[in-house]
């Protein structure tokens, strides 16, 4: 799935979100800072959203 996370702005944001999702057991994580998107394997959008929002970011 692909989620829009507009408040990612730099490599630190990218690393934080990648690590949080990896720690939560997700694979194939791709963060695109230019497009402000997070792509990850899986179908439970609410669960992925919770992981990202726990780090202080906002998923649209
Ligand atoms: Cu940042």
Three-class DSSP category at 39: strand
List, for residues 9-26, the tens digit of each pLDDT value. Answer: 999 999 999 999 999 999
List, for residues 40-54, the tens digit of each pLDDT value. Answer: 998 999 999 999 999
How far apart CA 23 and CA 9 sit, in angstroms, is 21
Q: What percent of the chain is predicted at pLDDT more than 70? A: 100
Tokens of 18: 């990648």
In the reported structure, the alpha carbon of residue 13 is separated from the centroid of ligand 1 by a whole-number distance in angstroms of: 4
The pLDDT value given to residue 19 = 98
In the reported structure, the alpha carbon of residue 10 is separated from the centroid of ligand 1 by a whole-number distance in angstroms of: 4
In the reported structure, the alpha carbon of residue 52 is separated from the centroid of ligand 1 by a whole-number distance in angstroms of: 13
CATH architecture, range 2-54: 2-Layer Sandwich (3.30)
Domain spans of the chain? 2-54
How far apart CA 37 and CA 40 sit, in angstroms, is 10
Residue 17 and residue 23 in contact, taking contact as beta carbons nearer than 8 Å:
no
What is the pTM for the complete model shown?
0.94
How far apart CA 3 and CA 23 sit, in angstroms, is 18
């Amino acid at each position: 799935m692909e989620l829009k996370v507009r408040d990612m702005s730099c490599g630190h944001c990218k690393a934080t979100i990648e690590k949080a999702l990896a720690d939560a057991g997700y694979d194939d994580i791709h963060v695109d800072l230019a497009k402000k998107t997070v792509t990850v394997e899986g179908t439970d959008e609410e669960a992925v959203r919770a992981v990202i929002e726990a780090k202080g970011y906002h998923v649209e």
